[in-house]
């Protein structure tokens, strides 16, 4: 008995081609799914990186803005301090210039009267010390009406009015 090999060979080849085509199609589907998954992961990673970059940029911007605000505040405070020191210097100059004014003796008399009213008639007066004006004491109590002290108290009393100049 003779077996016809040609039809068997054709059947085996057809079956092998079908299995190969099926395996290739399955491999193509897996490759396509892997590519799609990789693209989705890549897009998600890119989006996350973009979001993290934007957040980092916002944070860096906030730090830069805070640093700039602190620097600006420091400059404003330095300018205010400089203006205050200039005001203080001019006020002290003007107060010390009173010593050359003909009304200075009357000012000293008025300060002496105030000191005696506060401390009593027995108060010891130091009239026209190096800073001008006067100092007085009676026992443990003291008053300082030197020109420098009067200027400092006057500037302190400006308080809120001086702050409004800056606004």
Best CA proximity match to 125, nearest among 117, 102, 134, 14? 134
- Among 19-28, 55-64, 102-111, which is the least confidently predicted range? 19-28
Q: What is the pLDDT of residues 89-100, one digit of tens each?
A: 999 999 999 999
The whole-number average pLDDT for the span 59-73 is 89
Best CA proximity match to 153, nearest among 104, 101, 114? 114
Give 5's strand partners: none
Instruction: Provide the H-helix boundaries in the chain.
Output: 5-97, 104-119, 147-166
Best CA proximity match to 18, nearest among 8, 30, 10? 10
Tell me if 99 sits within 8 A of 105, measured CB to CB.
Answer: no
Q: What is the DSSP string of 124-157?
A: EEEES-TTSEEEEEETTEEEEEEHHHHHHHHHHH
Cα–Cα distance measured from residue 91 to residue 85, given in angstroms and rounded to the nearest whole number: 10
pLDDT at 3: 64
Interacting residues of 80 by C-beta distance below 8 A, sequence separation 6+: 166
């Amino acid at each position: 008995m003779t077996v016809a090999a040609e039809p068997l060979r054709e059947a085996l080849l057809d079956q092998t081609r079908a299995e190969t085509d099926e395996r290739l199609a399955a491999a193509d589907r897996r490759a396509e799914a892997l590519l799609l998954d990789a693209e989705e992961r890549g897009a998600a990673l890119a989006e996350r990186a973009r979001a993290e970059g934007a957040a980092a940029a916002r944070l860096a911007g906030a730090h830069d803005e805070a640093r700039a605000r602190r620097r600006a505040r420091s400059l404003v405070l330095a300018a205010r301090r400089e203006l205050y020191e200039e005001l203080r210097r001019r006020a002290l100059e003007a107060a010390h210039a009173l010593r050359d004014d003909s009304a200075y003796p009357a000012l000293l008399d008025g300060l002496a009267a105030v000191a005696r009213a506060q401390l009593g008639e027995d108060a010891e007066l130091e009239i026209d010390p190096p800073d001008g004006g006067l100092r007085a004491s009676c026992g443990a109590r003291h008053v300082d009406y030197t020109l420098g002290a009067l200027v400092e108290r006057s500037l302190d009393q400006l308080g809120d009015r001086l702050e409004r100049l800056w606004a």
